[in-house]
Structures are given as structure tokens and as C-alpha cells.
Structure 1
């Protein structure tokens, strides 16, 4: 049987069949590396050896460098993934029609805390490009979701009027950042949610105190370099 100009050889067919799987494997490896890096950064900070990240991801060092040019690029992608996950939680809270607005906000705060954004804050100090288009787009999406979530609770009279999105994010960042000398673990998580419950209760209307200054927004935090 001939192999005309347009014919496909058996070896070529096998190669084409393998290509989608290779792409899928590469995508899974990338996801594993990002997940492993996030866990390692939370535990050890931004200077954790890339060898340790590769070990946790179950891949070789070369695979890490094939997906990420350097540590800075890996930190950017880990931070973006964390922001996307927090955004998804806020958007899910908005679509939960069976929950009262303030309870939806409360649920978001506790679920957002599990992302350990406070532990990842030190990653943003070393050459992180806050003006990168991906970062700006993700931050704006998060800002919009949180503004809508808080506006709903404010509209039904359960959220006090003198707090903003920035106040919420500062509290989440501060309360999920381990104290010096304490290891991350189950015990730390218990205190995080305990203290978050106190914080969220303080957001309820009617307010029982007068806050100094003005409500913080994402823009406020960006201007102050927070």
C-alpha cells in the first residue's frame, strides 16, 4: 500500500495521539509545582530551596525550570493563583442565594483565611511586579466581588457603614500570618478562626465603637504600599 504525499505514517499517528497527553501532563505538572510552592512558601518563606519544591511536587528540578524561568516568576504565579482562589470564594459567596448577606460575608472570611494569604504577604516584597497586567486584572476582579459582597450586607443593614474592602483584606492578611516562632499547623488554624470570629462580629451593625480614620479600599492600600 503506498504512502502518497498526503498519507500519514503509523509513527506520525502515534506522535499526534501522544501530543495532547503530553500537554495535559505538562499542565498537571505546572499545577503540582504551584501547589507545592505555595505550601512550601507558607511554611518556610520565599527562600525555600527550589529542590524542596520539586520534591514536594514529585517532579525533577528541570521540570520546575522548564515551567518557571526563575524564583521570581514562580512567586508571581503562586500569588496569582492564591488571589484567584480567594476571588472564586468571594464570587461563590455572591451566588449563594440561600444565605443571608452578612452570613455569606462571614463564610467568605473564614474560607478566605484557609488560603493563608497572610503567610504569602512576604512574597510581595522582593521584586514582585504589582503593576503586571495579570496582577491588576485579578486584583480588580477580587475588588469587585468583595465590594458587591459587602454592599449586599450593608444594604440590608447588617454591615456597619464605616468599613471597606481594604479593612477586610488587612484583617485577613494580619490574622493569617503566623507569629514569629510559631509553626504553621492545626493549632495555629484554630486561633486564626477564633480571632476571625471576633473580627467579623465587630463588622456587624449597629456599631459598638467609633473607628479612627476612614474606610480602607484596595486603592488606599496600593498607595500606601501595604
Structure 2
């Protein structure tokens, strides 16, 4: 079975560039708190550099984990070390923003696919789930694994809000598939997210692009096992969102 082709949104907003640049986002003519004049916008090249750093860090986190060398991230992004540190002064800050970056992109992908499914001429719910799963792998959802590390601030308000939005979007996709009888009912959202994260991470030390072919082959094998009617009995109980939260807290 040929895997569904998904075109992930190429120009999704990057979370909070103004905060990282120490600038406030303002509409034309907006003034500062003291009324001293227009609030400056971040320069276009600064925003581009931030996006390139986040994209490079996303790949490096999938490949090397949170120990990814920062100078290697800067090299892949095509910027100097000083530029990287100007945007992200330390490793925890960078990891935090990469996780936000990935979660927000994957959430928008899920919402977009679900909206197309609900349209009269849209794909069926199972095909939509396949589109989402392959697209999420291309977005390097494996970069979210730092959330499992002991020193990651999982309770940061930004993270909680982004995670809730992601969970809601994925759950809606799965409910759509199960309610129309296309997706087996003995699985939970946690089953999908855990398998997706595990299957989209390359072997240690293997560049991301070398494993992309196998990632999508193995994901499609996994997805075929989710199709209803089920041809086997799964051990244990479905992994719910509550189970997943307990594993990451």
C-alpha cells in the first residue's frame, strides 16, 4: 500500500519569536507602555535565523537527544554560535522552544487534516489518520521525547497549553475514525502517540534523512494494524491520555 502523500504546512508560525528577541509584537502605530513611540518589530533576518535554528535543533534532538552539540546545531542552521545564543541563551531554553515548535506544528497538521475529513468531499477518517501520522513523522515528533527527561519543565504554562491542544486534536481524529467503524476501538490516543514517537526516531547516531524511508514503511505497517475490524486481541488495556500524562510527569 502506497503511503498517503501529506504536504505539511510549510509556513506555520514559530512560537514566540518576539519574546526570544526581547521585542513585543505590535500592530502598526502601536506605542510602548510609556507612549514613547512605536514598539519595534523583530527584523526579518532575525526571525529567519530563529526559524532556521529551531528547524536544525529539531533534527539534532531527534538524532542525538538533548545532548546534541549546540555548535553543530548552529552549523546546520547556517548561523554563528553567537547568533544561536542571542536567541536561546542556554540549552534548556532551546529545548523548550523546540518542543513548542514541534507540538504547535503537529497540532495544526491534525486540525487541518480533521477539517478536510469533515468536509463533504474529504478523505475518510482512516486515510486522514494516516495522513496525520506520516506528516507528524515528517515534522519530527520524536523531538518531543525530551519531555520525558527529569530536568525538563513539563509544567510550564506554554507547554501545558500546547500539549492540551495537541491531545485534543489527535483525540478528535481518532474518535472520528472509531465512530465510523474504520479504526479499531481497543486502542487509545496514548497508543498512537507512543508508537509514533518510537517509530519516528532513528537509531542512535544515524542521520534523520537516512531513516526516513524505513520510518514511513514501519509507520504504514503499524497503521494497517489499527484498521477495523481487528484481526487480533491486544494484550493489556488501551493507553489513554491520562496514562500518557502519568508517564510524562
Unpaired segments ≥5 residues, structure 2: 1-36
1:211 matched residue in structure 2: 234
Name the structure 2 match of 1:147: 171
Q: Does 1:84 align with 2:114?
A: no
Distance 1:32 1:183 in 2: 18
Q: 2:6 — aligned with what? A: none
Q: Secondary structure at the match of 1:160?
A: coil
Could you tell me how far apart the structure 1 residues matched to 2:57 and 2:142 are?
Answer: 15
Q: Secondary structure at the match of 2:169?
A: helix
* Equivalent of 2:155 in 131, 142, 152: 131
User: Counterpart of 2:132?
Assistant: 108
- Relative to the length of structure 1, the TM-score reads 0.83
How many residues align structurally? Answer: 209
Q: Does 1:200 align with 2:220?
A: no
In the TM superposition, residue 110 of structure 1 has moved relative to its aligned partner by 1.1
1:78-98 alpha-carbon deviations (Å, 9 max, x no partner) = 111111111111111111121
Residue 32 of structure 1 deviates from its aligned partner by 1.7
Which residue number in structure 2 is paired with residue 225 of structure 1? Answer: 248
CA distance in 2, matches of 1:215, 1:93: 24
Runs of 5+ unmatched residues, structure 1: 1-15
Residue equivalent to 1:4: none
What TM-score comes out, normalization by structure 2 length? 0.76
Question: Which is helix-richer, 1 or 2?
Answer: 1
Structure with greater Cα Rg:
1
Show the counterpart of 1:63. 83
Alpha-carbon offset, residue 141 of structure 1: 0.4
Q: 1:160 aligns with which of 184, 199, 209?
A: 184
CA deviation after TM superposition for structure 1 residue 65, in Å: 1.7
CA distance in 2 between partners of 1:75 and 1:84 (Å) = 14
Shift of 1:213: 2.1
